[in-house]
Copies of this chain bind each other. A is one copy, B any other.
Amino acid sequence: MRDAFHEELDNITESLVEMTNLVASAMARGTTALLDADLQLAESVITADETVDLLRGEIEERAFDVMARQQPVAGDLRMMVTTLRMVADLERMGDLALHVAKVARRRYPNSAVPPELRSTILEMGQVAQRIVAKAGSVIAGRDLDLAKELESDDDAMDALHRRVFHVLLETEWTHGMEAAIDITLCGRYYERYADHAVSVAHRVIYLVTGERA
């Protein structure tokens, strides 16, 4: 039997995982909208971000409520505060997926991604998917080995980000300034998305080991 505090904590953890799934879906659909110039899909990501924000507020309220009623100490207190930080990371990841979708919408009916960067952006989307899926599993299962894997996924994202700059700077760019700006910003959105996912994993490591990763 778990006590009331830990039961509420389990519920909050479930909601955190749900939030992870929402921001994963947002970036998956945002990437497809960007690559396929799919306006409807882009709009769906933009609309769905409200759900992420609502869930964020709801988890925060519940966390405050638990803290006020149960007065957790030591490890349990750290857990509650860490939860609030993870919620903030996840909400920001939702915002970044929203930004990608907004670039897709702004450039519709054209694609914001020129042919020579298509595979790079596709891969950035895939790495984002892998990294957020792992972050969700780390939250759910507190798996420290998996948490460490996120580092190498993040390295992969950084390498893709450098490739974007390489194509912009070292090859003949024929797509104009607007496309260059959009790609520069999208590159940064993916990179920050991965950073926040790594940060979620680090927070779980900190919870389990008490050490900052």
Contact = CB atoms under 8 A, between A and B. Distances in A.
A181 B166 CA distance: 12
A95 B84 CA distance: 21
Interface stretch (A20-28, A67-75, A133-141, A146-154): A67-75
Contacts of A81: 64, 67, 81, 84
User: Per DSSP, are chain A's interface residues mostly helix, strand or loop, or mixed?
Assistant: helix
Interface residues of A, number: 23
A98 B185 CA distance: 18
A68 B74 contact: yes
Interface in A79-116: 81, 84-85, 88
Q: How many monomers of this chain does the complex have?
A: 2
A177 B168 contact: yes
28 contacts: A64-B78, A64-B81, A67-B81, A68-B73, A68-B74, A68-B77, A71-B71, A71-B73, A81-B81, A81-B84, A84-B84, A84-B85, A85-B88, A88-B88, A168-B177, A168-B181, A169-B177, A169-B181, A173-B177, A177-B180, A180-B180, A180-B181, A180-B184, A181-B184, A184-B184, A184-B185, A185-B188, A188-B188
